[in-house]
Amino acid sequence: MPELPEVETVKRGLTAPLLGASLDHVTLFRPNLRYDFPKDFASRLNGRRVLSLERRAKYLLIALDSQDIWVTHLGMTGRFKVHGADEAHTKHAHMALHFSPKAGGGSGQLSYIDPRRFGFMLLLSPDELYQATWYASLGPEPLSEAFSGDYLYEALKTKTSSIKALLMAQGLVCGLGNIYVCEALFAAGLHPEASGKTIGREACHDLVVAIKAILSRAIEAGGSSISDFAATSGELGYFQHQFSVYDRKGCACIRSGCHGVIERRVHQGRSSFYCNGCQKI
DNA sequence: CAAAGCTCCTGACCGC
DNA sequence: TGCGGTCAGGAGCTTT
């Protein structure tokens, strides 16, 4: 399930083949993912050149020389795969794109594969993107300086929702999903159901440090490969082997001196994993 | 307005 | 072995 480190891994993997490349021919194998593909999607991509690839939150932003920005969200199981131009597409491939790399050397193919189809793609002008409510309401990037302990403390002090729900909502800080929120809350010693406004300034500082550290380590590891995530080369990330709590129900807490056990509990339809010894409300 | 609930989808997994 | 039921989960939308 792609969160910030997985999308960052995809962006880095796509940059070498796609930056400066010409998009020669787009084929859609169905009319929609989570939403319909944009009207004229293929014709607006065909013949364009890629000017830049960026990531914002969990969105991949590919700027084209037509001024359009091709926005992709990978949802739960979306992934891009770069492969040979003649290679047949696999099951659940919903889009294929033949491209000519900037450096020459023939052509390649980019496939978008998404079994559950929770992903989606948009094609927007910069104004449309920046003015879109969903985009404008994204919180700061967690790895930016704007995301500080003081910022988090000020943002939390009026919130009654649980810290877990707040961190996952994208408006306070973006890019986090269930896995990295569970891991960060463990690292900071905070209970997932603790109300936002009960978290003090020092704990906010610790939490910010934990979030930045975990995301950085996960990016270095090429993300976490659970569910279907893989890099564009097909290579798997390996951060899932470093989880402290996620999917470790019943395991002993790894924190030295803690004799707690990892519990799994569902709140708000999402599973939380936390240590019953060192993560107190 | 804030917060909680619902919804989309299909592969994996479980119990019988 | 096969079948049906349940679950996972991002984020926009709806309801409270």
Token pair 């910010």 in the structure block, residue: A208
Q: Domains of chain A (ranges plus CATH)? A: 4-136 (3.20.190.10), 149-275 (1.10.8.50)
Q: Which residues in chain A land under pLDDT 70?
A: 1, 105, 224-235, 238
Quick one: pLDDT at residue A133?
85
**For the purposes of burial, counting CB atoms within 10 Å of the CB of A9, is it exposed (0-12), middle (13-18) or buried (19 or more)?**
buried
Q: Output the distance from A66 CA to C7 C1' rounded to whole Å.
A: 43
Between CA A24 and CA A17 the distance in angstroms is 14
Q: Are A21 and A42 in contact (CB under 8 A)?
A: no
Quick one: pLDDT at residue A235?
63
Any strand B atom closer than 7 Å to A165 CB: yes
Q: What is the pLDDT of residues A228-240, one digit of tens each?
A: 555 566 667 767 7
Q: Output the distance from A265 CA to B4 C1' rounded to whole Å.
A: 17
Quick one: pLDDT at residue A242?
76
Quick one: pLDDT at residue A227?
54
Any strand B atom closer than 7 Å to A268 CB: yes
List A11, A48, A58, A248, catalytic entry? A58
Any strand C atom closer than 7 Å to A179 CB: yes
Per the structure block, which two tokens stand in for A129? 């993107």
Quick one: pLDDT at residue A20?
95
Quick one: pLDDT at residue A251?
87
What single DSSP character describes residue A90? P
Quick one: pLDDT at residue A106?
76
What single DSSP character describes residue A172? S
Provide the b/e sequence for A213-250 (b: ≥16 CB within 10 Å).
Answer: ebbeebbebbbbbbebbbbbeeeebebbeebbbbebee
Any strand B atom closer than 7 Å to A161 CB: yes
Q: Give, as ranges, the nucleotides of chain B with any atom within 7 Å of a protein CB.
A: 2-11
DSSP bridge partners of A110: A82, A97
User: Is residue A87 flagged as an active site residue?
Assistant: no
Token pair 């993912």 in the structure block, residue: A33
Quick one: pLDDT at residue A144?
94
Quick one: pLDDT at residue A230?
58
